[in-house]
Amino acid sequence: MRRCPVCNQTYANESVNFCLNDGATLMLDEPQSYSSQPSLNREQSIPPFGNTIPQNFAPPQTKKSRAWIFGIIAVVVLIGGGALIGLLVLLGIASQQVASDKQKPETGIPANEPSRQTQIKLTDDFSKWADVKTSTFGRAAHEAGEYQLSATQSGWYYIQLSRSTVDPQYVTNKRTTRVTVRSVSGASPSLGFGLVVHSDTKPLTSDYAFLIRNDKDPSFRVVQHTKNGAAADEKNLVNWTRASQIRTGTQTNQIEVRSDGKQLQFYINGQFATSITDELNTNDGIVGIYSSDTAPVAFSDLQISE
C-alpha cells in the first residue's frame, strides 16, 4: 500500500509512484527498514519542489481547470477568427489595389496618351547638318561629335532647321521626336534651348519649340513661332515651369515631343512635362533645334520614330 504525504490518498497498486491528485512522490504506508538499502538524503527522496511533476505525467483536470481551458480556447478562436477576417479584408484591399494600379497609366504619362509603336524612322548624328559661321543671328559648328548652336548676342535666339525643303524622314507630325542636349560650359541660356517640331521649311514661319533651362531653378516652357509680316513672333504657350527632372550644369538631358495629330506631349528625361493642342495643323512640318544667348549648346542623337 502506498500513500500520498500531501493529501493522504492511498494506492493499492504499488507500481504507481506519484499521486494522481497533486503529483507528490508516494510513500509506503507501512514503515520499512532501509538497513539493506543505501540511505537517502532529503534531496534524493523528495523532489526539490514539492509539486514537481514528471515530464510523462499529466495531472487530472478539474472542472474548474477545464472551464478555464475552454475559455482560453474560445478566446483564441475568436481572436484567430478576427485575425482571419482581417487578413481576408487586407487581401481583398491588396487585390483591389493591384487591379487599380494596373489601370493607372505609367508614372508621368497622362491617361489620354495614345498607344505608340517603337519603330525608329530616323537616327541622325547631325554630321550632315550645315556649319554656320557668318550668320547675323547665330552660329553652328561640329565639335567632338556634337552639333553646337548659339546666338550671336545675349537675349537673342537662333533656330537651325534640319532641311530647307520637306523631307519625309524629318517630318514630326504623328511621330515621336527626341534629341539629347547639354550646355557646353554649364551656363544656362536665358531664353532656353531645345527642340523645334512641326516647322515650316522657312525658319520661324510656323513651328513649336520645347525649351529648357539648366540653371539652379531648372524649368521648361513651350513657345509657338508665327510670322507677323516680316518679323517673327515668339508666343509663350506654356510659361516657365519648374521641372526637377532637368539635369543642371553640363549634364545631358533628353527632350522628347510626341505628336498624335491633335496634341503635342512633352517629356524630359522620360518624364511627362506638359501637353498642348496642336493648332497649326502643319502635317508636313519638320524638325529643328533652338538655342539662345552666346554660350553654345551641344545637340546629339536625334531620333524620329512612330
Q: Tell me: the pLDDT tens digits for 197-219?
A: 999 999 999 999 999 999 999 99
Q: How confident is the model at residue 9 (pLDDT cuts 50, 70, 90)?
A: confident
Q: How confident is the model at residue 80 (pLDDT cuts 50, 70, 90)?
A: low
pLDDT in tens, 103-161: 333 334 444 444 455 699 999 999 999 999 989 999 999 999 999 999 999 999 999 99
83 within a domain of the structure (yes/no): no
Domain with 160 in it: 120-305
Q: What separation, in Å, do the N-terminal and C-terminal C-alpha atoms of the chain show?
A: 102
pLDDT confidence of residue 174: 95
Statement to judge: residues 42 and 149 lie in one domain: no
Statement to judge: residues 156 and 218 lie in one domain: yes
Statement to judge: residues 151 and 281 lie in one domain: yes
Looking up cell 525608329, which residue turns up?
120
**Which residues have a Cβ under 8 Å from the Cβ of 20 and sit 6 or more positions away?**
9, 59, 60
Please tell me the distance from the alpha carbon of residue 305 to that of residue 123, in angstroms, as a whole number.
9
Residue where a domain stops, chosen among 38, 72, 106: 72
Q: Does residue 180 have a pLDDT over 50?
A: yes
- Report the number of distinct structural domains present in the chain: 2
- Percent of the chain beyond pLDDT 90? 57
pLDDT confidence of residue 57: 37
pLDDT in tens, 233-279: 999 999 999 999 999 999 999 999 999 999 999 999 999 999 999 99
Look up the CATH number of the domain holding residue 155: 2.60.120.560
- Percent of the chain beyond pLDDT 70? 69
Residue where a domain stops, chosen among 12, 45, 72: 72
pLDDT confidence of residue 65: 46
